[in-house]
Chains A and B, each alone.
Chain A
């Protein structure tokens, strides 16, 4: 059986290289000898309801609304999650999973998919720059998540959602000192785009959760070494910089 990694609406929610997360998930399965394919779905096409992992990425305000509308009409994502698929949503994708979010110059409130018990409203200033968070995995082990955030909305979690990771440097949810949320089949975070290339443990966690098995370390020492080096570089830079938005590079 070939596992489907489904990029949902790249043209609307993929402006930050978010497809990269899907490439990482597919390759990490294939390199372990597990069949996987990358599926790109655009509005109007049916979202397959047998996806292993679905991905929602970053996008502009009005694209979020178009995406919610198309997903509600299609319902394939909802069926896929009911069937045990996992959704990994970042940035605008995270926001639209909540009950509601604001867009536009006048902060109009729009309903989201309601998959997460969270609400997003415009924050007092835009969060732009490298972000570093500490993530505690379900087995109690800890790991740092490094990424780049760029969002105007701040997100408040309700009682059904659990925060994903504690913010060390950066803004994240903006209200509670945490970044992201977990609830049922949904894992969400603010750092957009290539968060998984920088955090292979998070990538493997998503895969293990969706597959329901424990995965061995990736049998590619060259790639593992590149991941380690990139992580070391980014973590060093975010720790040693004062002006995040201007200098975290």
Chain B
């Protein structure tokens, strides 16, 4: 079946779009649509709607339907994970040093100056207000679209590709991916990769659905005080997570759901990793020693091929 493919940079990560069937323009349209969403959602672009929301925290701001949906999904993700995923941790991630585009931040290889440590406001996502066309963040907070923006973008664009005539589609933004319809040669095959392995350590088969991976082994940096940091903030401590898990991959119906659950699973640590995974969703983890664990039905997606017991570090 004819497939159009694009690889590109977007949302601070690698993007990959595959379109099966439909008009020739669809793959290009998908990349343009992702660029449009990045310009609405990036916290690093001062003109984005998310940047304006953060600047105006405490006051209502009229936003696009896409941005309202992003905030609404983020609140739902917070509820779904019992607060394990928290989109209001922007001050904490900035305090850890991650205050600009990661590639630009780390391009010199020099240690990063930590940001100012802001007092943590006594607010929760329930304090986010959503009107028909506007959003109000609680005063003193900041919204970090992070991974959920990539996942939701994948969901939206795949849906739009099918509505525009594609028979099948895959949108992958930094490992948060959504597939639907047929792939180039049947069901979609998704490789799970780990920083310790040169080759994929698991292959997943998907007729439809989403995969997302969170890891503490990428987006790491050293601050000027010699502390090694990473981008996954523990909502309990407001600091980069010290979970014994280094990798969590989740298979779910939608990419935004998979993304928030992957983050929450990783932050929970190996002892309680899967307690939060709802039925119909499956997860795989790798701990700091390389031990692999998964929910009971994860191997449904491997064709019942066994998972490796451990990865070599």
- Tell me, yes or no, whether A binds B: no
Q: Which residues of A contact B (CB under 8 A)?
A: none
Q: Which residues of B contact A (CB under 8 A)?
A: none
